[in-house]
């Protein structure tokens, strides 16, 4: 069984975003998901980023755990 090595840093790099811990914290501080909003539906993504996130979740890909983790971070007050 293959295990995923994709963490938030890897996800941010895949999305073309700065991926250092401080960058991820700053992104999380600036962006929030509305109640009930799916991660891929947020207005702050480019169309390509949103598509990647939607596919990751729909296909339960190796990226889905990191995407879930990001969604939780962006949903917290």
Per-residue pLDDT tens over the stretch 12-54: 999 999 999 999 999 999 999 999 999 999 999 999 999 999 9
Does residue 15 form part of some domain? yes
Tally of domains within the chain: 1
Does residue 2 form part of some domain? no
- What's the CATH number where 26 sits? 1.10.10.1130
- Residue 1, pLDDT > 50, answer no
Q: With bands split at pLDDT 50, 70 and 90, how would you rate the model's confidence at 76? A: confident
Range of the domain at 21: 8-75
Say how far apart CA 21 and CA 30 lie, in whole Å: 14
Does residue 12 form part of some domain? yes
Q: 20: exposed, middle or buried (C-beta count within 10 Å: 0-12, 13-18, 19+)?
A: exposed
Give the model's pLDDT for residue 59. Answer: 86
Check: CB of residue 24 under 8 Å from CB of residue 30.
no
Residues 6+ apart with CB under 8 A from 53: 15, 39, 40, 45, 67
Does residue 1 form part of some domain? no
């Amino acid at each position: 069984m293959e295990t995923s090595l994709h963490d938030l840093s890897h996800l941010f790099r895949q999305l073309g975003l700065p991926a250092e811990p401080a960058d991820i914290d700053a992104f999380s501080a600036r962006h929030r998901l509305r109640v009930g909003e799916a991660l891929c539906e947020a207005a702050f993504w480019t169309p390509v980023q949103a598509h990647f996130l939607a596919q990751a979740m729909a296909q339960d890909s190796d990226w889905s755990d990191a995407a879930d983790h990001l969604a939780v971070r962006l949903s917290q007050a």
